[in-house]
Chains A and B, each alone.
Chain A
């Protein structure tokens, strides 16, 4: 059974700092991995999707990496801003199913 773990559960940083969020998964036979952002009382916003054959994806100040063999992904946020404050969720998709298995998320607070 696939399990996804996100560390840390919460993170507080000063504005401008570069930071890394971690995601690990137990079954390396994944189809893709996605990073989402969730603001309080809101749904999820897809940030980056990495296919199993890829090693990283970039969008603006965000960079996500994938090491499938070791079951790890990182989300790097450069020059963090208060507007980046949100919960960041990692999810993996297995082959043969549409089920996304989610981690519990990392709650990020960027202080001005």
Chain B
């Protein structure tokens, strides 16, 4: 039980499709993150949310649209993706990003393996 659950685990979609990735954390955390892990490349941060507010966007293309309706749920809406967007998308959470919590580790889900045809 990782405490961070991602669905679906695998997703295959065409470039014209619209789909969403879901992340849910059961740890009582207030900060949530989306990461992209491509083959042969380091893990890259995409977005950070703290108390439902987006605090960082790491120059992510607009075809990726995050949504954080509450501190426990995070979505990544996908539309008109490109083949190079095929990757493992990881969600993470942490206690908070401020003050004494800023040194807390991030807890990761098992990811969604996305393949773009």
Contact = CB atoms under 8 A, between A and B. Distances in A.
A99 B90 CA distance: 14
A49 B104 CA distance: 8
A103 B42 contact: yes
A46 B102 CA distance: 15
A69 interface: no
B42 A44 contact: no
Interface centre among A42, A43, A49, A100 (most CB of B within 10 A): A43
Contacts of B107: 46
B2 A43 contact: yes
Interface stretch (B14-22, B63-71, B77-85, B108-116): B108-116
Contact residues of A: prevailing secondary structure: strand
B55 to A, nearest CB: 7
Interface size class of B (residues with CB under 8 A): 20 to 34
Contact of B105 (A34, A89, A103): A34
Interface residues of A, number: 24
B101 to A, nearest CB: 11
B74 interface: no
Nearest to B50: A98
Contact of A46 (B43, B58, B105): B105
Interface in B26-64: 31, 33, 40-45, 48, 50, 55-56, 58
A21 interface: no
Given A31-B102, A46-B106, A89 B43 contact: yes
Nearest 5 interchain pairs by C-beta: A43-B108, A46-B105, A102-B43, A44-B108, A102-B42
Interface of A: 4, 31-32, 34, 36, 41-46, 49, 51, 89, 91, 97-105
